[in-house]
Amino acid sequence: MKKLKCASFSTELDIIDVESTFTRGLPGFSIVGLANSTIKESTERVKATLLSQNFSFPAQKITINLSPSDIPKNGSHFDLAIAILILFQKENLDDFFVFGELGLDGSIKSTASLFSILLFLSAKIQNAKVVVPKAIAQKASMIPNLTIYSLENLTEAMDFFKEKNYENYHINNAHPLFENAIELNSQKYIKNIIYPYDFKEVKGQENAKFACIIAALGMHNILFEGSPGSGKSMCAKRLPFIMPPQSLKEILAQNAYKSLNSLDDDFSASRVFRSPHHTSTRASIFGGGAKSAKIGELALANGGVLFFDEFPHFSKQIIESLREPLEDFKILISRVNTKVIYETKFLFACAQNPCPCGNLFSKSLACRCQEMEIKKYKNKISSPILDRIDLYVAMDEISHEDKTSLTSKQMSEMVFKGFLFQKQRKQEEFNAKLNDEQMKQYCILDSTANEILQKAISSYNLSQRGINKTIKVARTIADLEQSELILKTHILKALSFRMRTT
């Protein structure tokens, strides 16, 4: 039995062993192992291609097994691995991942999903040796953790596997982004140094800017409420550029999700920002489709910022469907043929006016709304959703005397300092994404802070989720001040950003 490696994407990236056997019996060629119709068609493509290359099939029964056999597999990128196993039935093959679709003329072609698979593979397997079509080799070589070999046709494949001329086909082209990586706890991080949107353009709003620093460092969900033109959207759009540096794994996962949506892969150091319009459909935001489970805005925002402007204008169904992704940090898209789980560890930012006309907080403009209209507008956002918001910011009214203060670069440095403090205690997750066990380990309150929190539980009507979120926000504030313990001042500041829902 001979074996090569390949991969397929179902609920996650699965490593597939492509195995071959030649047994006595009536000549035949079959593929087993829960392969879909695309792979089943490989029998005809591979047979026609090999015959066109003057290959004589042995008078034996050829069986190709895709293992593990209980995982559904799809994609025409299995062609090359299957052909190589047939061509070199008597040769010893080294341990390679082999991808490529075969043309009937012996050419090796790329597929639409191949780059996504390679990105997920690089995040899962360290230093994998990968054979890819020449058409995608240069782009694939920018992916770290992979050793890329480029093949254009079956003639080159025969030279590569039979003569073992590996260096002749090796592609070496490291992406310049990774040259200035920072190493922390054996992980590489890439820091953003470009600020196309700068907080220096936001006049005044000192409290909102401090809340943005907290949200960025801990990846806390944040709600901006204020009059039109007060800077809600401006603050949200600048958040991704002050967030902590991305790890190599995060950049790869982000680009893998982008490639699933047919977006260009840029390996940018800045975190992703997604802002769907309030008229967007539920399927476009959460993912789905009639037959296949396509990626949506929530998954595309993974690792970055998902911004809902004019939050109450989104449909009630969309707003309420946010509960599970904001709590479990993942979303399951289930269809008849496919079930896919995507991570949703993003910073959720949203903005709303205080009333339908927007002038409720204004000191210079009169509010035209009736009390029932305001109540109806506010009730679009339910208490369970508001309970999942870590930080509530009431925007100040802007005056011509307001000046700029903190820049994005200064805020980014403050966040980075707090990020280094987190890494010193070997913490992997952002504060907002810590589970209960991790909270016990990293979120330790001193006695005074604990007393303040106990008093606040009744006065703020905090649920258990609200208590945890308050502690996590306080942990982030403590990180900004380089404090090992959560102190009284940290709890008080965290409570000042807590929205009262009753």
pLDDT per residue as tens digits for the range 320-347: 999 999 999 999 887 766 678 889 999 9
Between 92 and 311, the more confident residue is 311
Domains present along the chain, CATH in parentheses: 2-174 (3.30.230.10), 187-417 (3.40.50.300), 434-501 (1.10.8)
Mean pLDDT across the chain: 91
d(CA 80, CA 82): 5
* Look-up of token digits 């009630």: 316
User: What does the alpha-carbon distance between residue 219 and residue 244 come to, in Å, rounded to a whole number?
Assistant: 9
Q: Output the CA–CA distances (angstroms, integers) from residue 218 to 213, 249, 349, 477, in the order listed.
A: 9, 18, 13, 9
Q: Is the confidence at residue 400, as pLDDT, over 80?
A: no
- Is 292 within 8 Å of 338 (Cβ atoms)? yes
Distances in whole angstroms, Cα of residue 367 to Cα of each of 197, 359, 371, 373, 396: 32, 5, 10, 11, 16
Q: Cα–Cα distance between 448 and 426 in angstroms, integer?
A: 26
Structure tokens at 164: 């073992």
Strand 330-334 with 170-171, pairing: unpaired
Output the six-digit token pair for 446: 């001193």
- Per-residue pLDDT band at 10 (split at 50, 70, 90): low
**Per-residue pLDDT reduced to its tens digit, 154-166:** 999 999 999 998 9
| CA 125 to mean position of chain CA atoms | 18
Quote the pLDDT of residue 405: 82
Q: Is the pLDDT of residue 190 over 60?
A: yes
| pLDDT band with cut points at 50, 70 and 90 for residue 315 | very high
- pLDDT at residue number 291: 63
pLDDT tens figures, 206-249: 999 999 999 999 999 999 999 998 999 999 999 999 999 998 88
Residue 292: the pLDDT is 65
- What pTM was estimated for this model as a whole? 0.84
Q: What pLDDT score was predicted for residue 336? A: 66
